[in-house]
A and B are shown apart, each in its own frame.
Chain A
Amino acid sequence: MFDIAIIAANGLLSIALLLGFWRLYLGPTLPDRVVALELIASLTIGFISVYVVSSGRTPFIDVAMVLALTAFLAAVGFARYLEKGGHRDDD
């Protein structure tokens, strides 16, 4: 039962990751791609938590914490870059 839950969580996260990459590929403008990158970072946090539960290696939670902060820094950096007048479009 528990194994099925782990597999189901991994499967749902994998589908979500594919959808996120689809928007990253498709996204008509640069902010759309930044939103997709942010979702991909939080999906990675989900993958890490499933891995921690299934393998019992608790130090990986620290990786999730660092990843959350790094994703925030990346998003704010992109936003500053756009607002201070970067490329208006990404083509």
Chain B
Amino acid sequence: MTEFFTGLFLVAGAAFMMVAALGLVRMPDLPMRLHSTTKAGVLGAGLMMVGVAVYFGDGGVTTRAVAVIGFLLLTAPVAAHAIGRAGYFVGVPLWKRSKIDELKGRYDQKTHTLESPPEMQERSEDGTPRT
């Protein structure tokens, strides 16, 4: 029974990581590649660590596996955000069939701060509450 669930978790995690790598190769631009690798990759690695914890069923091993999963869940979104932001500043081109770039023209290129969208700015100057 333990071996069955361990094998299930390991194969499921490996399959998710395979899907992440497939997305990394097939997706057309940087944000889509980040979307693929961050979510599916972290889910795959987390499932494989769950498989390790199930297989040993030991307190120390389970604690370390949970710590690995926690670190992955904490660090992966931050790293993806940093890379995506840096890629946007460097000027990595978006896919040619993207419909809209909502950040266009709203980043100050010197201070790297983001302005609010125009409708938000008008509302806050009028004193009406933001929706």
To the question of whether A and B form a pair in one complex, the answer is: yes
Q: Which A residues are closer than 8 A to B by beta carbons?
A: 1-2, 4-6, 8-10, 12-13, 15-17, 19-20, 22-23, 26, 29-32, 34-36, 38-39, 42-43, 45-46, 49-50, 52-53, 58, 61-62, 64-65, 68-69, 71-72, 75-76, 78-80, 82-83, 88
The answer to whether B83 and A31 have CB atoms under 8 Å apart is: yes
Q: Which residues of B contact A53 (CB under 8 A)?
A: 6, 10, 51-52, 55
| B73-87 contact mask (Cβ, 8 Å, vs A): 1 or 0 | 001101100111111
Closest chain B residue to A67 by CB distance?
B68
Q: Which residues of A contact B34 (CB under 8 A)?
A: 35
A42 and B6 contact, Cβ closer than 8 Å, known pairs A52-B52, A61-B64: no
Which range contains the number of B residues in contact with the other chain? 35 or more
Q: Which residues of B contact A61 (CB under 8 A)?
A: 49, 52, 61, 64-65, 68
Q: Which residues of A contact B129 (CB under 8 A)?
A: none
Q: List 22 interface pairs A-B (beta carbons < 8 Å), by A numbering.
A: A1-B3, A1-B7, A16-B17, A16-B21, A17-B21, A19-B25, A31-B90, A32-B30, A35-B83, A39-B41, A42-B42, A45-B45, A49-B10, A68-B72, A71-B75, A72-B75, A79-B83, A80-B86, A82-B89, A83-B85, A83-B86, A83-B112
Q: Which residues of B contact A35 (CB under 8 A)?
A: 24, 30, 33-34, 37, 83
Secondary structure class of chain A's binding surface, majority of residues: helix
The answer to whether B71 and A65 have CB atoms under 8 Å apart is: yes
Closest chain B residue to A21 by CB distance?
B21
The answer to whether B49 and A64 have CB atoms under 8 Å apart is: yes
Known: A12-B18, A35-B37, A50-B10. 20 other contacts (CB 8 A): A9-B13, A9-B14, A17-B21, A20-B21, A31-B84, A34-B83, A35-B33, A38-B76, A42-B76, A45-B48, A49-B48, A50-B14, A50-B48, A61-B49, A72-B75, A72-B78, A76-B82, A79-B85, A79-B86, A80-B86
